[in-house]
Structure 1
Amino acid sequence: MKLLLIEDERTLSRLIVKGLHKSGYAIDTAFDGEEALELFDINIYDLIILDLNIPKIDGIDVLKHIRQTDENMRVLILSARSDIDDVVIGLDNGANDYVTKPFDFQVLEARIRSLLRRTFSQKSTIVSAADIKINTAQKIGFVHNTPIDLTKKEYAILEYLIFNKNKIISAEELMEHVWYSEVDLLSNTLKFHIHSIRKKIAKELGNVEVIKTVRGQGYIIQDNEVNQL
């Protein structure tokens, strides 16, 4: 999943990015309101982490623009403004959650996972499709009950396909949600990772096609329906 972190404290921003990278998230960063809106207007994100005390454009005004443009975007406010009135203003202006500073990183990560599950209508941390399961809290994939040795990027690809099971996902959409904005969308990177995931699944399932290629359209995982190659 791809996140946008809007935080003007650069040291804190680096720490958050480092922690979320370890969990396999792709993250763009903005250090003021203007930069945040520029990134938001030209990229696609699954969730936005927003500090309210940012320069140039106040966080609440950034939030209002985001909500006017995309009513479904998940926005988590991360702010030192801890007064009840500030929390209420943030939530009333469209934030989905509010975490006050200082904060525990594990709590922040859990809130992010919760919002992303809500985005894709998932209630459990265990999500399945066909013969594959993923644990969104531990970032682990399974064939039946056997763990698959996935890289962080491979897990991110599999997670997005399972969250969107029974839907054809274009290569461009996968790249937009799993990689950084600067990546070359015309590269063979995605094909390489898809091939690697298929090989690892095949070690447990044999010649069963779980991730299907739809020629000219993209990839799909269909729930409870697999094809013999």
Structure 2
Amino acid sequence: MTVSVIRFGGSNCDRDAVRALDALGVDAEIVWHEDALPADTTGVVLPGGFSYGDYLRAGAMAARSPIMDDVRDLADDGVPVLGVCNGAQIGCESKLTPGAFTTNASARFQCEHVNVRVENADTPFTAAYDEGDVLTLPIAHGEGRFEIDDQRYDDLVSEDRVLFRYCDEDGEMSEEANPNGSTGAVAGVLGERDSVAVLMPHPERATLPELGLTDGQGVLEAFA
């Protein structure tokens, strides 16, 4: 199998994703956004960074790259697609997942470790965890606030499509534990298929033991 990690101008987490996937025994390669996806692509990662300098809105310009038409086609066929940080913004802008990521409530760029609670363990991206598990993952974003209208938020909850919520180390949600002011403290969601997911924290930065955190391994193991 081959996981294609798409590099846009401004991506800076593509090599991190490849290294983390390689460490899990997954064949991964970087694909420039102006090139075609390899014919043997069996998974796609939209990595973090600052595609197109976050002009207009974060992820808005990358979402209109021709390669995203191919990504949407693969997603419709059930091929796993994971968007992380800027990749999550691209995923929402591409309508792979609902909602939008907007400027943090603090109006500042935030780079720190946060806690997230597993809300649904019955997905390819969370099958390595149990519902209610608390993970420690890094964030690094200025536009990570997940926003969605009330009706669609209720739909996400009723359809069990919320993957992670920000919480404290005991798994409790609070305003203080929600680093960017996201609606419902949502940190990650599923698309209409459970093979498509986006999340704002970085699992690839919490996969290699030498980095000090391994809580993100389970998310990337979905591709294996």
Q: TM-score range by the shorter chain?
A: 0.3 to 0.5
Higher strand share: 2
* TM-score normalized by the length of structure 1: 0.36
Higher helix share: 1
* TM-score normalized by the length of structure 2: 0.37
**Highest Rg: 1 or 2?**
1
Higher relative contact order (CA 8 A, sep 6+): 2
